Amino acid sequence: TLGLGVLRDAISPLVTEERNGQFEFSMSYPVDGALFDEIKNDRIIKADAGHSLKAQRFKIIRITKPAGGVVKVYAEHVSYLSQDLALKPEVNFSGKADQTLNTWQNNIVDEHPFTTFSDIQTNGIGKWTIDKVENARRALGGVSGSILDIYGGEYRFDNYQIALYANRGSDSGALIAYGKNLTDVQQEEEIANTYT
């Protein structure tokens, strides 16, 4: 359904998805917009995240104070719900990636909506313990011994379906060249964590 309504007054809505990384939504919204009073933390915004990921759900996590009559809204993909779920204190797994994802799914302590899939055929073995893997999302990736660490691959989060593919995309044969189909490049440098 259209839920509480369409956010027609949204300014610059943007979905950012990094390979095996962040999956977030942001937008600006005027305080005099039709649905401003409905924009609250923990509410869900549906947005397309590219040509193949339609109607993705994003949970609002932060709304800034109005500046110039506009607020900035930040939301995380619903797959981040796995950060709030705990695994059993010790979980052993082995087999192909699909079997390990099923083990992951079946060892989450609380009820959850997640389904899993993988096409990776290599075998792996490992163990997650509560002192190394604090929540279910960390078991997916980001720590030593995670599913991503052992099997490799590329995650595709489609609302509550978590899929781990050997290769998520396909080779189109296109060559990116500056001045032809690449019109701008930006480089950032950061020295915040540099020590001498």
Band (149; pLDDT cuts 50, 70, 90): very high
Band (119; pLDDT cuts 50, 70, 90): very high
| Number of residues in the chain | 196
pLDDT, average across residues 147-163: 97
Q: Give the Cα separation of 71 and 80 in Å (integer).
A: 23
Q: Which of 41, 122, 119 is nearest to 75 (CA)?
A: 41
- Spell out the residues 6+ positions from residue 21 whose beta carbon is closer than 8 angstroms to its own: none
Q: Give the Cα separation of 147 and 129 in Å (integer).
A: 13
Band (185; pLDDT cuts 50, 70, 90): confident
- Dig out the tokens for 8 from the structure: 């027609």
pLDDT, average across residues 3-25: 95
Q: Is the pLDDT of residue 192 over 90?
A: no
pLDDT of residue 68: 94
pLDDT of residue 27: 98
DSSP annotation string for 100-154: HHHHHHHTBSS----EEEE----EEEEEEETTT--SHHHHHTTSTTSHHHHH--E
Percent of the chain with pLDDT over 90: 82
